[in-house]
Amino acid sequence: MEEMFKEAKQIREWLESIEEDTKTIKRLHTLALHSARTDDETQNKMMDTMVRIKTVSLRAKSGLKSLEKQMGSKMSHVMTRMLSVQHSTLSKRYQSAITAYQAELVNYKERCESLIKTQLQIVLLSVKQRNIGSVLVGAKYATDEEMEALLDQENTQVFVNNYIRETTEAKQALQMARLRHNEIIGLEKSILELKELFVDMAMLVQSQGEVIDRIEYNVKQGVNFVTDGNQDLGKGKRYRIKARKKKLWLIMCLVTILLVLILLAVIKMMLDKLL
């Protein structure tokens, strides 16, 4: 039992780590978005933090499943109830932590896409103003829907033909677009992995809720049984008191009759002597 509570404590520490790392990744995302170009140090920190969150998330998930399997084995209803509630709380916290992290990745992805669109517009405007003969592949993507289709392509070479001769400003914008697009591809993979974790944990939380409901039902039934037992004991006690009273009255009646008989016998003896 003590070992299981140690496991629960370890899971809680992992969840705290995920929550703290989510705050860290949010700060790094803000820093990256406010920079013209994400420096290598910031990029490495972002990657390290994401890898750490993924690793810890898998450990916490495995720990929660292990804890669930151990519940109910040779434990009292009270202990099972305590551990089940703790497991349910940790599972919901895990789900909440993963949801917050996923939301941050989605938000960063959307802001990166917005920056890419802006950078592509810069390129298109630059090419148009300088009447450069070679065309940008992205130039045919005018609407938001077409831009989205462009961003969804994993081949980053779609942003520019090999033979393009752009202005310096256009080159920089294209380079930034490529870098952001590479980030988006990595983010989409991470978001997909998180969705799988989220669905898995949602099912675990649901099943855990059913387990707790069953435990609560059993506990309630136990309470009702004890209550009914106490009521039966109370009735039995009242019956015993009534039985004692009846027995006492019967004894008193017998004693009274016996005394009357003795008294009558004595009176008769006295009368016989007088006669």
Quick one: pLDDT at residue 23?
95
How many structural domains comprise the chain? Answer: 1
**Does residue 239 lie within any of the structural domains?**
no
**Does residue 257 lie within any of the structural domains?**
no
SS3 state at 165: coil
**Does residue 29 lie within any of the structural domains?**
yes
CB atoms within 10 A of CB 148: 12
Quick one: pLDDT at residue 249?
79
Q: What is the CATH number of the domain that holds 205?
A: 1.20.58.70
SS3 state at 235: helix
**Does residue 64 lie within any of the structural domains?**
yes
Cα separation, 217 vs 84, in Å, equals 14
pTM: 0.59
Contact 87, 78 (CB under 8 A): no
SS3 state at 205: helix
**Does residue 249 lie within any of the structural domains?**
no
Query: Along the 275 residues of the chain, how does pLDDT read in single tens digits?
Result: 678 888 889 999 999 999 999 999 999 989 888 876 667 788 889 889 988 998 999 899 899 888 888 776 666 777 777 888 888 889 889 989 988 998 888 888 888 778 777 766 766 666 555 554 444 444 444 456 655 555 555 444 444 443 344 455 555 665 666 666 667 777 777 777 776 666 666 555 555 555 555 555 554 555 454 455 556 566 666 777 777 777 777 777 777 887 777 777 767 777 666 66
Contacts within 8 Å (CB) and 24+ apart, 49-56? 49/21, 49/24, 49/25, 50/25, 50/190, 52/17, 52/21, 53/18, 53/21, 53/22, 53/25, 53/101, 54/190, 54/193, 56/14, 56/17, 56/18, 56/21
Quick one: pLDDT at residue 76?
73
Ranges assigned E (strand) in the chain: none
- Tokens for 116? 């890419």
Quick one: pLDDT at residue 117?
76
Quick one: pLDDT at residue 111?
84
Give the structural domain span for 83: 2-226
